[in-house]
Amino acid sequence: MYHGYNGPVAPESVALQCRGLSKRYGDVTAVDGVDLTVLRGECFGLLGPNGAGKTTTIEILEGLLPADAGQLSVLGQQWARDATSLRPRLGIQLQDTQLADKLTVHETLRLFRSFYRTGPTVDALLDTVALGAKRDAWVSTLSGGQTQRLSVACALAGQPELLFLDEPTTGLDPQSRRQLWAVLEEFRRQGGTILVTTHYMDEAHALCDRVGIMDHGRLIALGTPRELVASLGADHVVEFAVTGGVALADAAVRQLAGVRDWRREGAHLSLATSELHLTVPALLDLLRAHGATLSQLTTHSATLDDVFVTLTGRQLGDE
Amino acid sequence: MSERARRGWRDGLQGWWNHPHPLIELTLSRGRQFLRDPEAVFWVFGFPLIMTFALGIAFRSRGPEPVIAGVVDQAGSDQITAALERAGGFTVRLIAIADVERAVRDGRAPVLIVPGTPPTYRFDEARPESQVARLAVDRALQWAAGRRDAFTPIEQPVQTVGSRYIDWLVPGLLGMNIMGSGMWGVGFAIVQARSKKLLKRLVATPMSKAHYLLSQVLSLLLFLGLEVTVIVGFAWVAFDVTVQGALWSLGVVALFGALAFGGLGLLLASRARTVEAVSGLMNLVMLPMWVLSGVFFAATNFPDVMLPAIRALPLTALVDALRVVSNEGQPLSTVAPELGVLTAWGVVSFALSLRWFRWQ
């Protein structure tokens, strides 16, 4: 599997680098030896199911949690030594912060802006996240999408070089998610670096230059979304189920034309194939030979979700 | 104002508007959140006013009270009753012969007259009101029997200012309120911010932690000014309760009290994760003081062995100092020991909370 940048990288082009990062809570190892390099100007996504260790990892990188082991440098500085000069260079959005209900949007941004020496004006921040119309509304009256955009605006208040976002679009409707993506794309267009965690593969696809897939505290895959999908060796997935108690022999299914990988989950089978146009007719022939009837048949292009399933045997959305 | 000073002011205001200062913004945020929370405003301002009003009505001064005299219900009681009623100022209660023993003891009649020649007075020498009733009854009956005064004195009833119960109660309520708003104001806001992960979010900015804690103290002092004005003003308008000492002395005592309880609130909030947990802690700390510190009745009613401990409580010190300034009109130097107690509580709890405070 491809593991990101192996060749030499100029130190000034590295935004963040960690080696062997680990964190334990009692008997549970939340983060287990994570190596990561994020380049300046890049959008890097940490992808994984809930409980994979994404939040613990990002909070260590943000200097909010101490690591038990490992080396970490952020924008060429170390938390232990340079916290005071490092803090103002970062923008941070936490997963479950509730901003004060009874302050207005403008008052909230003014408060966060006051913590930084330099940065855009409050009005410019409002424009950036398209909340100008909500300037004087209480935070408690905002929709989920508006609340998240305000939260991102607070993270942008100090004109950060590096922006950390922890599950910024969880629970948002598709339109709100796209609005937030637009804000992040604008930040990148101006040269900013982003590290974002998500459990939506489409978000990783849409936003990220590279993704790292996490499971059980480990980084199990690293690369561009395209590279990771290509690593499956198959670009389509066929899922089907048959009626009646007909049992298809595993060997027969595996030998169908074009099939690279297959999985059985109850009555459902899924096949990863590199040649959809050969696999589907062959499958239909096989079913006819066994006198079986399809009760369900779907195909889709392979995604990061399929990469996760192939690596772990579980769905990304499983909790 | 000179042109230069005016320009200085304008530049200062514009500077603040364009470059918000974290300490000012944190204090403003805290103040806005308080004023926009009707429940908090009620408990800090509304509740003590209602309390002062209700207790003021219940314990208002009612002028001279009639003397209660018991007359044993037997031959001759009619003449005695008639004599007392002619003299005026008596409430006569007829007591059955069977109740004679109990009537004095249970307080139904502070003095009991047994008709006869001469009549017998039964009364309790140890009780002042019993003594007074005996003297009044004796005078009325002697008059009815023909005694005349040797002279008629000139009487001048004195109404000492600040001696009513309400005068004594208002500083107590003020102290209790300073305790409540100091502890709740600081403790509740901090724990709420912690449980909503807002503290953690603030720590993820370059915000100075000292600014955050200082802003809590500053907003506390802003509301303290309002609170003291409202309560003292209300007691003055509604019940004519006046502050005998200097108003600024009262302000200084209130300030010491607020800082002591603000520190205590900070200490209780330094670890608590939920609002429920900190509420329990606060009640645990405040309840004994409501009872022991002499808000509603004098702390000296408790046994002497307890008094040194009671005097060391911050609310006792605050309430005592407020009373000395408000009722007795003494200067600040008189209450130096109480201010010392408050300072000790404030300094110790602030130092401990700096050690223990958890930001996330």
Q: What is the pLDDT of residues B205-259, one digit of tens each?
A: 999 988 998 899 889 898 899 889 989 999 999 888 888 889 999 999 999 999 9
Measured between beta carbons, the chain A residues lying within 8 angstroms of B275 are none
Greater pLDDT, A150 or B19: A150
% residues pLDDT > 70 (chain A): 95
The predicted model gives B345-355 an average pLDDT of: 91
pLDDT tens by residue, A216-253: 999 999 999 888 888 887 788 888 888 766 667 777 88
Judge: A100–B198 Cβ closer than 8 Å, yes or no. yes
Distance of alpha carbon B169 from its chain centroid, rounded? 5
Q: What is the ipTM of this complex?
A: 0.84
The predicted model gives B327-354 an average pLDDT of: 92
pLDDT tens by residue, A63-104: 999 999 999 999 999 999 999 999 999 999 998 888 999 999
- Nearest-CA distance from B9 to chain A in Å? 20
Contact residues of B toward A, CB < 8 A: 18, 20-22, 24-26, 28-29, 32-33, 36-37, 193, 196-198, 200-201, 203-207, 360
% residues pLDDT > 70 (chain B): 96
> How far is it, in rounded angstroms, from Cα B102 to Cα B162?
37
Half-sphere exposure of A92 (CA within 13 A, CB side): 25
Instruction: For residue B160, give the nearest of B346, B329, B340 by alpha carbon.
Output: B329
Q: Residue A319: what pLDDT?
A: 42
Q: Residue A33: what pLDDT?
A: 92
> How far is it, in rounded angstroms, from Cα A127 to Cα A131?
6
Residue A306: pLDDT band (50, 70, 90) is confident
Instruction: For residue B103, give the nearest of B124, B125, B127 by alpha carbon.
Output: B124
Q: Is A92 on the interface with B (CB under 8 A)?
A: yes
Q: Residue A2: what pLDDT?
A: 40
Is a pLDDT exceeding 70 seen at residue A295?
Answer: yes
Shortest CA distance from A84: residue in chain B: B206
Shortest CA distance from B18: residue in chain A: A121
> How far is it, in rounded angstroms, from Cα A263 to Cα A238?
11
Q: Is A137 on the interface with B (CB under 8 A)?
A: no
Residue B166: pLDDT band (50, 70, 90) is confident
Q: Residue B308: what pLDDT?
A: 92
- Tell me which residue in A88, A102, A121 faces B206 most closely, judged by beta carbons: A88
- CA angle in degrees (0–180, nearest 5) for A190-A58-A69: 130
Judge: B25–A114 Cβ closer than 8 Å, yes or no. yes
Judge: B360–A88 Cβ closer than 8 Å, yes or no. no
Residue B67: pLDDT band (50, 70, 90) is confident
The burial of A220, by beta-carbon neighbours within 10 Å (0-12 exposed, 13-18 middle, 19 or more buried), is given as: middle
The burial of B131, by beta-carbon neighbours within 10 Å (0-12 exposed, 13-18 middle, 19 or more buried), is given as: middle
Is a pLDDT exceeding 90 seen at residue A19?
Answer: yes
Q: Residue A262: what pLDDT?
A: 82
Judge: A103–B203 Cβ closer than 8 Å, yes or no. no
> How far is it, in rounded angstroms, from Cα A264 to Cα A251?
12
- Tell me which residue in A94, A112, A138 faces B197 most closely, judged by beta carbons: A94
- Count the helix, strand and coil residues of chain A and give each as a percent rounded to the nearest 5: 35, 30, 35
Measured between beta carbons, the chain B residues lying within 8 angstroms of A120 are none
